[in-house]
Chain A
């Protein structure tokens, strides 16, 4: 059998907007808004340049609720490039939970040899010249709780079997449980490679056989940090020899924690933040870095940092502006979570112990009332903010402790200042 390589990608979420970036007239909006497309274009460029044998996409080409036909056209245009390559490069995909019910998918006519696998039963694509069989089954609905992998055909000892599956194998934290299965099950199935999708973080669950989440091609918010792309698999003599990540993202997300323990003043804190940002910027390798700054630790500068977090945010942004242009570095948010040092010798006062005694439970009702008042101002606001947003959580009587501590720190800073 000839040696060949193939690309395994998943969770492209084409045209899904990046989240958490506030509007700014100076921001490189085009670069940010085209990030998911650019990442996919880079993937296609790479596939053609490297002359891979085929490309596998393990679901979630785009968001299910997204109905813009242009997204489908873009996908077709890019797949057309693969089809026009010499020799043509097959693109074999399954639908995931996001694009299962997509109106785009239903009417999409992929350019041959691209294929979207069946949703009613497992489908097998055989590439006899490579000795490869690719098995997969698309999601027929958003929530598939069946163990799809169990129905996949048995392995053929004479072939290199690859399973294409959108799943939350063994259950992954932060991901809905779809098409559940276990690593053990996949290992026992006899396939040489399981090309998984659904989890946005790159993860190799097993080697020999390979069970791989390639992660998504472009991080879409501050929790999807680090390099994003696809997985390049090399096959030699019917054996998978290397599995390596290839980076395609154009906007890099980073959470930059700045520990300020022992930092004596505000200027030093900002200088430290600048230093950490500089490191993160270097790791972005020229991509636009969208950074979330988290100031932590116990520091005498807590008063200055806490008393006006908006001003702190702006100062951090000013530091960032001094470090790199806005087309290189973009501050997504600045979270201030600093406390006063334990050794701080402050006048205790009578309020202080009372403040310490107040718990999250004491504030839950007030926070819920206020949050509900505001969240009810617009439909779908809760959904847009997400269940994790502290106001949304507070509205359902689940006020986060960290918000209470932030309020306590603010209060201490303001009282101390007074």
Chain B
């Protein structure tokens, strides 16, 4: 972009300023402006023009923000003019010449990757920014920074990165062992795991050795157990002998006694005890009889000694009654004075009330002054209703008037409502539309379905492998069924397999042939074997020789010399004959000796011929198979050609293609269905729109009908044409389905708005209908309330009249004046009630006093009468005292009577006990006699003698039986004879030693068996532990885990290593190139700007900081000068060289922007300023250059440049002039 003019309106110090520039490449724009004229403002305006005016820009210091604007006229890279500008504001402030907002992309295309920071760093400079120099350039990234760094001997950050990569590699897996590094840690685990695997393995031979040791231990245990069992048997035999010896003796002694006392009786062993018991019972019974008789006599004496007062005891009931009544008599005497006083007080109250009534009746007749209770209750009831009835009559008129007003108001409201209209058609249509669902949602669903179907179709088409001929061509294909392809491919595969098989067979046949050839060659290596013909030939020669010798020696006709010569050659005939004989014999011998070899050779020859035949056959078969395969392949290729899957597609590729094609066809059908559904939906929506408009028009004839040219879905789409997707582009976004408003604006929006309007129309109608119904209800209610109020008024008046009639009757019954005020009557009713109450209480109290007096008198009389009968000594005593004494005496008499009765009972019991004891004594005597009879004795002494003899017999019999039992037990159930034999066989003195020997033998065997069992158990445990031990598997898993870690770490480390190596190689490559073009360009620019005083710009660096620039002077090429050592002007020239090189580098890969320098030549002397302008003119071939300055001499210097290349303009005063 190059500027042709820049206009500032109300920006900075400019109210309205237009500055023109020369946009030609190679032209230098020089803008002369005095200090304060706005050079800095222009630079800021240049930045704001491209990136927008900031919200808090200081450029409003004079004119404020309103009306602030920057406008530019420019030409693009292609020379085409255009205008753009900026306004002050929010959001997109990019405008054109007329102030119309432009697309932000317009400016983005001009800027490329340049942001505001880069613009201010490279293209809009003042001296200060220029001097920020190298640091910013190094921060700018890109080739210039790289060039400077590489020129300095390397990429500082890249080298740091390489070092970091190497460190990262070594942190994982350094080549020098470090146990803490992951690789070596895992390696150690790997090694340890391998060792552990080896150590933990349970090898089969180990297991078998353990098994053999276990078997041996078990056998040992079995043998020792057998020895122990034998010893145990011997011990048992000897122990048995020792046990049975005493029992045999016991058995024999008992048998001898029994044999000697055959008359000893056999008695019940219990008879002795029974005899003793009966004797003891007789003694006890006799003793008890004597005791009971003594007791009965003693109690009879005691009974006689107790005396009782019978007279007092006979009056006991009367005495008890008087004791009970004594308390009541004492209380009546105490209360009587108080009750008498209360009775007098109540009588005084009655007298006072009689006076209140104006009655002259005495108190005793006060009851006559009280009206009947029915009359007073009736009067009180009527008086209670009086106030309510009177109030009802008083309030009724006002209530009637209120109800009348309410009815009138309801009538007025009902009259104000309008009549209802008919909207049944609209309601039915809306229901019909709604029954299909929400139209907007249905539309959106339909569109979404269509989009989805389109995308699915596109996706399905894209998934068809290798197909680029489009959808219709794909659908138009008429491929075979997959089974056909499978069949053909199977044929092809079969033919290929057959070819491979035939190839193998051919190879085998050739190999067999070669082998046969080799065998034949080996057999014939020693030269050809003499065949039958050779033998025959040699024998024929031998016979020819013999015939010649025979002819010469034994016939008269010697052979022809020529024949001899032919046979013997130069040799004498005998020698030749001998040799022929020898040759024939040799051949015969050889044939005999090598007959097997000859046969083998013949067989080999035959085999070779056969192999040759098979090779020929295999060749033929292979050729046929190959031809068939080629033919099948051609067919396959031809069949598959339309599918475009290559010349020889695999079956899976073909099947994948067919499957993908089927999916495309399915997707196409679905897409067509979606399109049809979309069209049907649009048609139904259009129909609904038309019907809705008609019905709404009917309902709102005064409203403007909705324009429906836009169809059912807004103004963009024509009616009947759905917004369906054509082709495979994504569909446009669906219209907003929500109603846009009410009334006409809503109707204009289409079906959703129409539907909303219809809904509103129906809703309004429903609301009006409800209002009318409510008004009718209110009128009815008001009429009913009025009627009820009027009825209530009549009822109140009637009730009051009835009450008055009843009241007159009540007064008459009370005896009150007929015109007495009801309230006065009410007061008198209360007096009547009080009088009645007081009169009743006075009568009650008087009656109570009389009762008390009667009770006291009755008690005194009864007491006097009783004392006269039973205690005359108490006749003079006070009644209460006498009664107390009588009570004491009665208690004493009652105690004596009770004691005498007790003694009498005890006496009767003692007599009965004595009689019982006598009967028991007799029974004991009878029992003793019976026992004696059983024993067979007449008296006790004889009985005891018989009992003793029977007991001795029984003891020996028992001993015999016990001995027999014990012999069976101790003798291990052996027969008695065997036991006697065992006992007889072993001298008793030898038994202990025999047992001891056997015990020792058994102990030894058991210990050995136990030891063997322990060994077996330990072995079993050991084998079980070994079997359960997962150490080997765990170690193997640990080994694999370590390998996994090593693998990962090693791969990661190798990646780091490769990255470091790659970076190293890249750096080396860059360094090999030496100075970059950019650095050379910087040097060239700097040389020109300094008039050749400096020859080269270098960069140097170290590991501690960023690279730094170094300069070489033309006159001192061996001295390197740092930037700090340069003069101010030379330093500015260096920085300008850096910037210009950076601008050229930037422009090489981005849209060029104008360069705006603000007094950047102020430190240049005239020669270097002229050189700078020459350089800038050259740079302007790449980017437009605009120099701002307040130095007039620069204009004069510019005049020395060639004509027409410097465009000078002035702010404020001057017209633009071209100089030079």
Contacts and interface: CB of A to CB of B under 8 A. Distances in A.
Nearest to A18: B1040
B1041 interface: yes
Contacts, number: 197
Contact of A103 (B204, B501, B1044, B1070): B204
Interface in B1049-1072: 1050-1059, 1061-1063, 1065-1067, 1069-1070
Contacts of A377: 177, 184, 187
Interface in A353-406: 354-355, 357-358, 362-363, 366-367, 370-371, 373-374, 377-378, 380-381, 384-385, 389-391, 394, 403-404, 406
A68 B199 CA distance: 11
A374 B1050 contact: yes
Contacts of A182: 497, 500-501
Given A23-B1038, A389-B1050, A348 B143 contact: yes
B247 interface: no
B1051 A391 contact: yes
Nearest to B1029: A70
A358 B1062 contact: yes
Contact of B157 (A366, A406, A418): A418
A154 interface: no
A17 B1044 contact: no
Contact of B1058 (A66, A67, A403): A403
B171 to A, nearest CB: 10
B1044 A19 contact: yes
By CB atoms of chain B within 10 A, which of A33, A72, A345 has the most? A33
Contacts of A403: 1051, 1054-1055, 1058
B1076 A350 contact: yes
Nearest to A345: B113
Contact of A73 (B146, B501, B1027, B1149): B1027
Contacts of A371: 1050, 1054
Interface stretch (A44-52, A131-139, A407-415): A407-415
A370 B1042 contact: no
Given A73-B1027, A410-B1056, A415-B158, A23 B1041 contact: yes
A21 interface: yes
B507 interface: no
By CB atoms of chain B within 10 A, which of A18, A107, A349 has the most? A349
A384 B1043 contact: yes
B1039 interface: yes
B1201 interface: no
A408 B1059 CA distance: 6
Nearest to A371: B1054
A351 B155 contact: yes
A68 B1032 contact: yes
By CB atoms of chain B within 10 A, which of A68, A355, A380, A403 has the most? A68
Interface stretch (B189-197, B428-436, B735-743, B1005-1013): B189-197
Given A68-B202, A69-B203, A391-B1050, A351 B1029 contact: no
Contact of A347 (B141, B165, B207, B1050): B141
By CB atoms of chain A within 10 A, which of B165, B497, B1043 has the most? B1043
Interface string B1006-1030: 0000000000000000000011011
A407 B1063 CA distance: 10
A104 B1046 CA distance: 30
Contacts of B155: 351
Contacts of B191: 378
Contacts of A262: none
B24 to A, nearest CB: 31
Interface in A132-191: 182-184
Interface in B140-170: 141-143, 145-147, 150, 155, 157-158, 160-161, 164-165
Given A17-B1040, A411-B1059, A68 B201 contact: yes
Contacts of B1036: 15, 17, 66
By CB atoms of chain A within 10 A, which of B200, B1046, B1069, B1070 has the most? B1046
Nearest to B194: A380
B204 A104 contact: yes
B1039 A17 contact: yes
By CB atoms of chain A within 10 A, which of B190, B500, B1040 has the most? B1040
Interface residues of B, number: 77
B147 A350 contact: yes
Contact of B1041 (A21, A358, A404): A21
B175 interface: yes
B1054 A391 contact: yes
B187 A103 contact: no
A347 B1047 contact: no
B1069 A370 contact: no
B1019 to A, nearest CB: 15
A26 interface: no
A309 interface: yes
A69 B1038 contact: no
A100 to B, nearest CB: 16
B128 to A, nearest CB: 26
A250 B161 CA distance: 45
Nearest to A417: B161
A360 to B, nearest CB: 9
A24 to B, nearest CB: 8
B350 interface: no
B173 interface: yes
A127 interface: no
Contacts of B158: 351, 415, 418
B183 interface: yes
B1055 A370 contact: no
B204 A362 contact: no
Nearest to A389: B1047
Given A18-B1037, A22-B1044, A69 B1066 contact: no
A242 B39 CA distance: 93
B1069 A19 contact: no
By CB atoms of chain B within 10 A, which of A17, A18, A184, A391 has the most? A17
B173 A22 contact: no
By CB atoms of chain A within 10 A, which of B1026, B1039, B1065, B1149 has the most? B1065
A310 interface: yes
Contact of A362 (B501, B1051, B1065): B1065
Given A378-B187, A403-B1058, A19 B143 contact: no
Contacts of B1059: 407-408, 410-411, 414
A214 to B, nearest CB: 22
Given A351-B1067, A358-B1062, A370 B203 contact: no
A110 B150 CA distance: 75
A17 B1033 CA distance: 7
B146 A350 contact: yes
Given A350-B1070, A384-B1043, A33 B204 contact: no
Interface of B: 113, 141-143, 145-147, 150, 155, 157-158, 160-161, 164-165, 173, 175, 177, 183-184, 187, 189-191, 194, 200-204, 206-208, 494, 497, 500-501, 1026-1027, 1029-1030, 1032-1034, 1036-1048, 1050-1059, 1061-1063, 1065-1067, 1069-1070, 1076, 1149
30 contacts: A18-B1037, A19-B1044, A21-B1040, A22-B1041, A29-B1037, A33-B1033, A33-B1034, A69-B207, A70-B1029, A182-B497, A332-B1044, A347-B142, A347-B143, A349-B142, A350-B150, A350-B1076, A351-B1066, A355-B1062, A358-B1062, A371-B1050, A374-B183, A374-B1050, A377-B177, A377-B184, A384-B1039, A403-B1055, A407-B1058, A414-B161, A414-B164, A414-B1059
Q: Which 9 residue pairs across A and B have the least CB separation, nearest first?
A: A407-B1058, A354-B1066, A23-B1041, A350-B146, A407-B1059, A347-B142, A17-B1040, A373-B175, A17-B1037
Given A17-B1037, A67-B204, A418-B161, 15 more contacts: A22-B1045, A23-B1042, A32-B1037, A33-B1034, A68-B202, A70-B1026, A72-B204, A107-B204, A362-B1062, A366-B1058, A370-B1054, A370-B1057, A394-B1054, A404-B1062, A414-B1059
